[in-house]
Amino acid sequence: MPMMRYIPIILCLLLGGVNTVKSESYTFDFYNSDFEAAKKKAGEEGKLFFVDFYAQWCAPCKWMEETAFQDVEVKALLEKNYISVKVDIDNLDGYSLKQKYDIRILPTILIFNSRGEMIARIEETLSSRKLAQLLNHHNIDENKVVAKHTVNQSPRNDKETFKSFSLKPEPAQQKDHQATGHRYRIQMGVFHEFENTYDLVSQLKSKFIEPVIVLNETRGDKMLYKVLMGSFETAAEAEGYRAILKRDFNMDGIVK
């Protein structure tokens, strides 16, 4: 019987200890900017670039948010030596980066040196201890050289720039994707006027990192310009991206 009296006290002490540790930790505030601007900032400040790919529905991502990113040592390492961003793969920019870096597992962490070169790709859920070890491992002088990166710019308002957008005739067999191996794209507009085509291409290239091309064909004595965006292996991927364009940017298109 005497032992039974001590059990609740021991439990209270243990729980009290857990609460005390939790109150001393705090969530890390990620840099609130887009991918390219954050990478540029890392280069200018001579810091590493830390990218955490996640989704709202990802349970391991939430676990890391509540544990590893609340760790005091992890927060200090990120604040002092890294420019850090979170990328939600379910929004438009995040989906583009997911495609670009072939993100297949969540969470995925990418680390770049200050020159913008990827030096680590981690596809697993990390504890605070493992994450701190990872951050310390890459925190060396050769990875933190001050450098300058160019950020994607909108094309200049002249026809010479427009010519670099890959104007090319539409292959007759392009619609048969399985037979030809062509990738899927989203047709964002069709125009007879060169100026209207240019305006749409400029708008798309200033907002999105997905490739934009113009297919041109002759209809009678007139030229027809088709503006297409993206490059997807399957129709489902293209439809998913088209849905994001419609939902978040009120821009409609047709999967081709």
User: What tens digit of pLDDT does each residue of 184-242 get?
Assistant: 889 999 888 777 888 888 888 877 777 888 887 776 777 788 888 888 878 888 888 88
Is residue 133 included in any domain, yes or no? yes
Return the pLDDT at 96: 87
How many domains does the structure of the chain reveal?
2
Cβ atoms of 55 and 61 within 8 Å: the answer is: yes
Residue with tokens 């605070």: 128
Return the pLDDT at 210: 76
More confident residue, 24 or 76: 76
Mean pLDDT of the chain: 75
Same domain, 54 and 113: yes
Residue % of the chain over a pLDDT of 90 = 25
Cis, peptide link before residue 155, omega less than 30° from 0: no
CATH value at residue 57: 3.40.30.10
Same domain, 49 and 93: yes
Same domain, 123 and 163: no
Same domain, 137 and 195: no
User: What tens digit of pLDDT does each residue of 65-95 get?
Assistant: 888 999 999 999 999 999 999 999 988 888 8
Is residue 13 included in any domain, yes or no? no
